[in-house]
Amino acid sequence: MATGVTFAEAREEIAKVATHDSHVRLLDELNRTLADDRPGDRSFRVGPSCFMQDLAHNGDGALERLWRTQILPLLTEHHWGDGVEVETVYALGTLRTRLGIRPPTAADGDAADS
């Protein structure tokens, strides 16, 4: 018997800790891209645990760092040898643009990394 939190429950937790819904939307878009784009893999997806870390909610610079140090390396390994330009297809800026999400600014109360 499996125990623990389901993907949907963890996704709901992200929504609780995030100051806005952009983290949930980014996770959904990331997984949609994984499933739909070349070569397309519906059996692999990024789980919500990355977005549940404090690091993901300490301003835009922190999310950028998380994306660069955890999400992109995971996707690079997943796409090893299949010709996908991971840093182009899955770039945080690319997904934000596609979703119409602007990066938070210092005026929004999020501290940027130096």
pTM of the model: 0.71
Closest C-alpha to 53, from 9, 23, 8: 23
Q: What pLDDT does 35 receive?
A: 86
At 14-46, the pLDDT tens digits run 656 555 578 888 999 999 998 887 666 677 888
Q: Give 87's DSSP letter.
A: H
Residues in the chain: 114
At 65-97, the pLDDT tens digits run 889 999 999 999 988 988 889 999 999 999 999
Residues 31, 79, 51, 62, CA torsion sign: negative
The helix or strand, by DSSP H or E, that contains position 15, with its residue range, turns out to be helix 7-17
pLDDT band at 112; cut points 50, 70, 90: very low
- Please determine, for residue 6, whether its predicted confidence score (pLDDT) is greater than 60: yes
Residues whose CB is less than 8 angstroms from the CB of residue 94 and which lie 6 or more positions away in sequence, other chains included: 88
